[in-house]
A and B are shown apart, each in its own frame.
Chain A
C-alpha cells in the first residue's frame, strides 16, 4: 500500500503569494494531521481531522493559514498571504485509531521557502 503522499516536495515562492500544500493519506485511515517543522520550534501540530472533520485547529498560527479535507483521500493546507517566517517543512500524517494506539504515518514533507 502506498504511504502518505505529499505535494509539492519543494516550493519556493515570494512573500505575499498564496501557497497550497496537498496530502493524500493512507487509504482507510480516519485521522489526518498537519505538522510544521522548523529548527527553532521543532515539530508543531497545526491541525488534525477525524473522518474529514477538523477537530483541533489550535495550532494554526494565524488566519493566514487554513486547512480543508473535502474527502477521505485528500487534504490541503493553504497559506495566504505567505510570509518569510512561514518557511518550514510541512508534514502530513495519517493514522487509524481503532486501537487508540496513536501511531502516525508521515509523508516525506513539503519544504516551503518564502523569499
Chain B
C-alpha cells in the first residue's frame, strides 16, 4: 500500500520569504512523486514531478522539490514566495506499475503581504 503524509495543514509566510512544504511517503516499491497546486474554486494542476533521474526537480514558477529515498521525503521549496503563490498544495505518490495516485491531505500556503 502507498500513503502520503503532509504534516502541515497551513503555512503562513511573508512575501519574498522562503518556504518549505513537507511531504513524506510510504511505498513498498519504486515510486513516482508529484506536487499539485489548487487555486480557489479550481481543480488541481500539476506543479512538478519526479519520475527518475535527477532527484532535484523544478517548476516553471520557481518551486523545486528533492526526492530523498533514504528519508522517504519529497519536500517542496521556494526561495522567495509571491502573493500569487497563495494556494493549497498537494503531494501525491504513484507506485510503479500501479495506476492509483494517492494524495496527501494538502497544505494551505498563505502568503502575507
Contact = CB atoms under 8 A, between A and B. Distances in A.
Interface of A: 4, 31, 33, 35, 42-43, 45, 48, 50, 55-56, 91, 93, 97, 100-104, 106-109
A108 B42 CA distance: 5
A43 B43 CA distance: 11
Contact of B97 (A50, A100, A106): A100
B44 A101 contact: no
Interface of B: 32, 34, 36, 41-46, 49, 51, 90, 94, 96-97, 99-106
Which of A4, A42, A108 has the most chain B CB atoms inside 10 A of its CB? A42
Given A97-B99, A101-B51, A104-B44, A43 B90 contact: yes
Nearest to A43: B103
Given A48-B99, A101-B49, A102-B94, A109 B43 contact: yes
B94 A42 contact: no
